Amino acid sequence: MNSTAIGTLTAPVEPGDIVRSLFLVKEEIADTTGKVNEHEVAAVAAHLAHPGRVFVAGAGRSGLVLRMAAMRLMHLGMTVHVAGDTTTPAIGSGDLLLVASGSGTTSGVVKAAETAAKAGARIAAFTTNPTSPLAGLADAVVTIPAAQKTDHASSVSAQYAGSLFEQVLFLVTEALFQSLWDNTDAPAEQLWLRHANLE
């Protein structure tokens, strides 16, 4: 391991360090998830239940979380596209764009929302900042009360950068999927038929 890449370790990582870190991450996630407004999340679920295609757009790790959400929504039988993929078609009226940005100012994500709005699509946003430009463009906003990735001295989280936002974003999108699925009569075997078989 190249120790200069992470700085000089002052002591070896011990099992107790791992236990403390697991506890820290678990407690922060539990606390923050408990502060997410379930009515905001239900509003996104209502948009997902409408007819129309679903598009997802996010940068970095938030974008990776939305890709996971896109996969689960596809398993439910929805037509889902990831912005930036070569086969993603144009978004249009009646479609839904799911976007995520902790700050709500990520330029590419805001631009995607602006394009979707001009095309007549609905927008659902996940952010830490309900007064951000991204939130202002959205028809539904879920506020995740976590630190922004540039807020290094935050008292909200001891974790690095936007980790807490991304972790809770994953849980919220999983809860969305689970709630939508629970309100169908589709068995797991039916969803599994849509799972990728070109792996």
Measured between alpha carbons, how far is 48 from 54 in angstroms, rounded to an integer? Answer: 8
Tell me the pLDDT tens digit for each residue of 19-58: 999 999 999 999 999 999 999 999 999 999 999 999 999 9
Q: Please say if the pLDDT value at position 3 is more than 50.
A: no
Strands (E) located in 10-151: 54-58, 80-82, 96-100, 122-127, 140-143
Task: Find the radius of gyration of the CA atoms of the chain.
Answer: 18
pLDDT band at 4 (very low <50, low <70, confident <90, very high): low
Q: Please say if the pLDDT value at position 108 is more than 70.
A: yes
Please give the helix or strand (H or E) that residue 112 lies within, else none: helix 107-118
Decide: 81 and 89 in contact? Cβ < 8 Å: yes
- Give the tokens for residue 63: 């974008």
Measured between alpha carbons, how far is 181 from 75 in angstroms, rounded to an integer? Answer: 10
* pLDDT score for 199: 80
Tell me the pLDDT tens digit for each residue of 77-99: 999 999 999 999 999 999 999 99
User: What are the residue numbers of the active site?
Assistant: 166
Q: Please say if the pLDDT value at position 102 is more than 70.
A: yes
- Per-residue pLDDT averaged across 57-76, rounded? 97
Q: Is the full-model pTM beyond 0.95?
A: no
Strand order in the sheet with 80-82: 80-82, 54-58, 96-100, 122-127, 140-143
Q: What is the percent of the chain where pLDDT is above 90?
A: 87
Contacts from 192-195 at CB under 8 Å and sequence distance 24+?
192/75, 194/74, 194/75, 194/77, 195/75
Rounded to 10 degrees, the C-alpha dihedral 183/185/189/193 comes to -80
Domains of the chain: 38-183 (3.40.50.10490)
Decide: 141 and 164 in contact? Cβ < 8 Å: no
